[in-house]
Amino acid sequence: MFTYSVIIPHKNCVPLLLRCFNSIPLRDDIQVVIVDDVSTLTEEEHAQLESLRSSRVQVLFLETTHFAGGARNEGLALAEGRWLVFADSDDYFTEEAFKVMDDWKDSAYDMVFFAHESRLSDSLEQTVRSDERSEYVQRLARDKGDKQADEMLRYQNPVPWARMVRRELVETHHLQFDCVRASNDAMFALYAGYYAQSVAADNRVTYCVTVREGSLTRTTSRESAYCRYEVAVRKYCFLRDHNLDHMLPWLTARVWGALRHYGFSEFRRYYRLARANHVNIWLGITQRFHR
């Protein structure tokens, strides 16, 4: 039986995927599931991915576009490990990552968060991404009773990487990623945080998230912006309906950005969705004035 299942969605970045793959130790207890989301591959690239197949490595080529979330769901269906570990294909694990995770593999926690670092993809020069997340990982690692750090990591930490998630938790609650263009991981992370009975944090770095031009996190379009907004509205409704009002996301900036970048018609589109779901899009402003 595998201890870990590492799930990696891939789209048109074979050299970076190979970097990510090569950062995973060749161990019999680590399963790797690579899901290619209809990449445009040369014969050589296709052969490179095929050559990765082994008893512990599965490579799945999707025939229709699923986006990263759908690709991750296909990976979940193939996962056999006790712990799920997620990676983006253009990121990679640190040298000691799985040795650090080994310290927690027999723990009773449902989820363990780890520290991460951020670098430019091409030069590997250190940069900054999700600094606030690192702060809360350090705080919870230092003090398991830090309620704010615990809640922030559970409910305001939308990325699936730099954590290990018990597969039983995901299967029991039928957790899935959204098959959407952007923010596919936000609701999965929120649900996992909510349903986890206990979580822990380790301030050792296990994961390097990279920044590169042209990646989804670096590009913005009308539809991807609205997709992120739709997910944020769903997140708002879930937190409100589960009596977590103090964790509600502020949507003011997203609505204002729609008006500023795309005009009044797009603003109305955002407003209608908020009104249909009884969402206060001005929460960010009203909270500031009531402090």
Element (H, E) at 55: none
Q: Reduced to 3 states, what is the DSSP secondary structure of residue 18?
A: helix
pLDDT the model gives residue 209: 96
82 and 208 part of one domain: yes
187 and 233 part of one domain: no
**C-alpha distances in Å from residue 10, one per residue of 53, 100, 166:** 15, 25, 23
Cβ burial 213-243 (10 Å sphere, 16+ → b, else e): eeebeeeeeeeebbbbbbbbbbbbebbbeee
pLDDT digits (tens, 9 = 90+) for 178-222: 999 999 999 999 999 999 999 999 999 999 999 976 554 555 799
Last-in-domain residue among 188, 218, 248? 218
**CATH code for the domain in which residue 63 is found:** 3.90.550.10
86 and 166 part of one domain: yes
Residue 291 has pLDDT above 60, yes or no: no
Q: Reduced to 3 states, what is the DSSP secondary structure of residue 128?
A: coil
20 and 103 part of one domain: yes
56 and 134 part of one domain: yes
Whether 251 and 267 have beta carbons less than 8 Å apart is answered as no
The 8 Å CB, 24+ separation contacts for 250-258 are 250/283, 250/284, 250/287, 251/279, 251/281, 251/283, 251/284, 252/281, 252/282, 252/283, 252/284, 252/285, 253/284, 254/225, 254/228, 254/229, 255/229, 255/281, 257/225, 258/225, 258/226, 258/229
pLDDT band at 128 (very low <50, low <70, confident <90, very high): confident
229 and 180 part of one domain: no
Last-in-domain residue among 218, 240, 271? 218
Mean pLDDT across the chain: 93
pLDDT the model gives residue 175: 98
Last-in-domain residue among 174, 193, 218? 218
180 and 248 part of one domain: no
Residue 30 has pLDDT above 70, yes or no: yes
Q: How many CB atoms lie within 10 A of CB 109?
A: 17
Share of residues in the chain with pLDDT > 70 (%): 94
pLDDT digits (tens, 9 = 90+) for 155-167: 999 999 999 999 9
pLDDT digits (tens, 9 = 90+) for 239-280: 999 999 999 999 999 999 999 999 999 999 999 999 999 999
Q: Can you say whether residue 67 is alpha, beta or left, with left for phi > 0 and alpha for psi between -120 and 50 degrees?
A: left
- Structural domain total, the chain: 2
Q: Model's pTM, two decimal places?
A: 0.93
Range of the domain at 23: 4-218
Calculate Rg over the CA atoms of the chain.
19
Q: Which amino acid is at 29?
A: D
pLDDT the model gives residue 289: 38
pLDDT digits (tens, 9 = 90+) for 55-73: 999 999 999 999 999 999 9
pLDDT the model gives residue 68: 95
pLDDT band at 131 (very low <50, low <70, confident <90, very high): confident
155 and 46 part of one domain: yes
For residues 100-124, give the mean pLDDT. 96
Whether 109 and 199 have beta carbons less than 8 Å apart is answered as yes
pLDDT the model gives residue 157: 95
pLDDT band at 285 (very low <50, low <70, confident <90, very high): low
Residue 234 has pLDDT above 60, yes or no: yes
Start-to-end CA span in the chain (Å): 53
105 and 186 part of one domain: yes
Determine phi and psi for 242, rounding to 5 degrees: -110, 25
198 and 233 part of one domain: no
201 and 283 part of one domain: no
203 and 271 part of one domain: no
Write down the H helix ranges in the chain.
14-22, 43-50, 67-78, 97-102, 131-142, 147-155, 167-172, 186-195, 222-241, 252-262, 264-276, 283-289
